[in-house]
Amino acid sequence: MGVARLKKAELYYHKSVHEQIAAALQETGACQIISSSEENHSRPADVEALISGIDEKLSDVRYLTRTLTPHYVDPVPALDRMLGERPEVTMSELEELASNTDLNGLCDKTRAVEHETAEVRLKLSEARQNLLILSSLGFFPYPLEVITEGTKTLTGLVGTLKAANVSTFRAALGDFSKYAQDSELIIAPYDEKTQDVYAALIYSRSIEAEIREVCAKNGLSTIDMPLSFKGTVDEEREKISGVLSALEAKDAELAAKMSELAKENIPTVQKLSDYYNSLSSRYNGTSKSDETECTMLTKFWVPSDRADEIRAKVEAISPEIELTLNDPDPDEEPPSLLKNGNLVRPFNILTELYSSPTYRGIDPTPLLAPFFWIFFGMCLGDAGYALVVFGLILYVFKKYRKMSPGVKDFIKLFLFCSVSTFIYGVISGSFFGNFIDSFVPVLIPLKNSMMLVDPMTNPMQVLGISLLLGVVHLMFGLLIAAYDKIRHGEIIDAVGSNISWFLFIVGLCLFGVGTGGMLPPHFVQIGSAMAIIGAVIIFIYAGKGEPNYFKKIINGFLALYGSTSYLGDILSYSRLLALGFGSAVIGMVINLLGGLAANIPYVGWVVAIIVIIGGHIFSIAINILGSFVHPLRLQYVEFFGKFYSGGGEPFTPMTLSQEFVNVKA
């Protein structure tokens, strides 16, 4: 299947049916609009006004969503909503809802509550700050008016200074008799552990400049006192406590009002969000059309197998419609749409995470799917874990029947990989680690009878399998690259840069394995011949186009030295052993801890069950992550590095927005 074939559609129609055409194209979800061919294409005034009105509505919707959502308790759990458990509505129902909803009025009401809340919380912050200041002034015996306002002849200040500077500060004030006579220093109680000490100083206005200078020299940092402080510290504290209680009650009242607004309106706002986003996508897309005084031309890409459906849909709107469908021109680069069968489609996301293929390029999805499937199974490698994942996914599919195709395919990916995990778990004898050996010895003969590899006692065997898979994977990538070059007529490049390395690497492997006695002796000769032929081609091809014979020779040797990079790539596949081994060891440790816990008197088995179940749940979660990431790295770095670069534009059709609700045409 691979990259779907597209048709370039040109749809001619009268302006009077523009809205019906736009709606029909969007409802199919299969049309990617092509922008107008005019360089300075501008939208008609009526369409511009329509889009401007939609944008204003979207602005209101976004404001309400941003403001009210934190106060909204969604009756549908987040996971359920993500998996498709959302209300189902039609566009006509949303249109009616939009006409009956006063978004501007709701925004005004919400802003009023929001502004009042902001004012109350500003006053709350101020009151709490004032209460904090008062809590440090309990040592001051006089009305605070002496400091905040003063008298005709007296004023004062409050501040902090280092405890070590208190005696120095007292001495500085006593150096001049007039300071001592015209000032009073009050120090808050402190002990030897205190670092900063609160101090109040009342003094005559006539010596204010001198007093401020002494304070600055001795490190007294003044505190700005609110001018509203008039009475004693206790009086002001009592007054602010009352104000604070009233403000907190008002804040709670406003929060309840905001919650009520959210409860009443967020479901409506969410529906309108999808509605106006759908309209915005619709009219912004079709506004790229070419037009005359009476007619419009909308161009779009459409999958070939959907073309007849599109034709029937638009022709049902008006008989005065002309739709032409053509194959892309040779110099055009259409977007790419991956179209694979049921078994391969869940793996599309792996390719899309990297980069979509070009329209005429190779879709690597069917090529990587079997390798990723095998690698995932080897990394997780536990039959018990596979059964848990398989059962959980079946439960999800049974419970959530409205999930989007993309989410469903992503979950299917893990469903498929749980099968390979089960197979590898059986042949490697891993079932929740060594659970059978530790707790169900009666099943040991059955388990052992199905074991083909044992990573715990013979890791070199699994390492060999991993490296062999690496060689197959990399050589397959080279052959794909050679095929791609050959189909484009680049036969010499295919032989020189791909087939030569295939011969060289495979030949060396056959030579090494045959020499080690793992293959019949004649494979040594076959491998030697392949390696020599490959090396000669690599050597000659590296000097192609270089007139200087000395440089030809240097380039040839440097090219052969590049074989070390292939060695590094092959060794990367040892992670298949490492991750599978790690999964088995974690399972063994969990079972060991569970066995030890079982020896606790009275509650031992209860603790053991909790440890085993909880531990294996954690192990499944952490090992699934590793089993997804590391095989993916082998695809992206080692495999794709041999033949695939991506760079295609993904097919992005005009669709209905379904972020909050499932919208039906």
The answer to whether residues 71 and 117 belong to one domain is yes
Q: Above 60 in pLDDT, residue 177? A: no
Residues 376 and 427 reside in one and the same domain:
yes
Q: Residue 176: which pLDDT band, with cuts at 50, 70 and 90?
A: low
> Are both 47 and 195 inside the same structural domain?
no
Domains held by the chain: number: 4
Domain range enclosing 172 = 141-231
Question: Does 29 reside within a domain?
Answer: no
Residue 40: pLDDT above 60? no
On whether both 406 and 352 belong to a single domain, the answer is yes
CATH number where 88 lies: 1.20.1460
Residue 139, CB-side half-sphere exposure with 13 Å CA sphere: 14
In a domain, 566, yes or no: no
* Residue 525: per-residue pLDDT: 87
> What was the pLDDT predicted at 15?
86
Query: Higher pLDDT residue, 388 or 205?
Result: 388
Does residue 640 have a pLDDT over 60? yes
Same domain, yes or no: 353 and 426: yes
Q: Do 482 and 501 contact (CB within 8 A), yes or no?
A: no
CATH code: domain of residue 309: 3.30.70
Buried b (16+ CB within 10 A) or exposed e, 280-303: bbbbbbbbbbbbeeebbebbbbbb
Q: Would the pLDDT of 582 be above 60?
A: yes
The predicted structure's pLDDT at residue 611: 93
Q: 590 and 630, same structural domain?
A: yes
Q: What is the CATH number of the domain that holds 153?
A: 3.30.70.2750
- pLDDT tens, position by position, 216-245: 888 899 988 888 899 999 999 999 999 999
* CA separation for the pair 344, 413 (Å, rounded): 9
Residue 519 forms part of a structural domain: no
List, for residues 252-278, the tens digit of each pLDDT value: 999 999 999 999 999 999 999 999 999
With contact defined as beta carbons under 8 Å apart, do 208 and 183 qualify? no
14 strand-pairing partners? 295
185 and 250 in a single domain? The answer is: no
Last residue within a domain, chosen from 337, 354, 370: 337
Containing H/E element for 204?
strand 196-204
- The mean pLDDT of the chain is 89
Query: How crowded is residue 559: how many other Cβ atoms within 10 Å of its Cβ?
Result: 20
At 33, list the tokens.
Answer: 């609009």
Q: Is residue 120 part of a domain?
A: yes
Co-location of 420 and 438 in the same domain: yes
Q: How would you classify the pairing of strands 88-90 and 662-664?
A: parallel
- Distance, in Å, from the CA atom of 203 to the CA atom of 211, rounded to the nearest integer, reads 8
In a domain, 529, yes or no: no
Rounded distance between C-alpha atoms, residue 635 and residue 114, angstroms: 51
Residue 185 phi, psi (nearest 5): -100, 125
Q: How confident is the model at residue 452 (pLDDT cuts 50, 70, 90)?
A: very high
By DSSP bridging, strand 183-187 and strand 196-204 are: antiparallel
Same domain, 148 and 121: no
Share of the chain above pLDDT 70, in %: 96
For residue 516, CA distances in Å to 88, 241, 335 come to 66, 88, 51
The DSSP bridge partners found for residue 322 are 12
305 and 281 together in one domain:
no
Which of the listed residues 279, 310, 337 is the one where a domain comes to its end? 337
Question: Is position 479 within any domain?
Answer: no
162 domain residue, yes or no: yes
Distance CA 616, CA 374 (A): 22
Is the pLDDT score of 43 beyond 70? Answer: no
Q: Where are the beta strands (DSSP E) in 70-191?
A: 88-90, 154-162, 183-187
Instruction: Note whether 300 and 432 are same-domain residues.
Output: no
Characterize the bridge pairing of strands 662-664 and 32-34: unpaired
* Mean local confidence (pLDDT), 436-458: 90
**What integer pLDDT is reported at residue 384 of this predicted model?**
95
b/e code 350-378 from CB counts within 10 Å (16+ = b): bbbebbbbbbebbbbbbbbbebbbbbbbb
Q: 128 and 247: one domain?
A: yes
Q: Is residue 541 part of a domain?
A: no
Band the pLDDT of 432: cuts 50, 70, 90. very high
In sequence order, the 6+-apart residues with CB closer than 8 A to the CB of 367 are 476, 480
Please answer whether residues 314 and 92 qualify as being in contact, where contact means their C-beta atoms are separated by less than 8 angstroms. no
Does the pLDDT at position 545 exceed 80? no
pTM of the model: 0.83
Final residue of a structural domain among 231, 248, 277:
231
Question: In this structure, are residues 211 and 183 in contact, taking their beta carbons and an 8 Å threshold?
Answer: yes
Token pair for 611:
């440890």
pLDDT given at position 567: 86
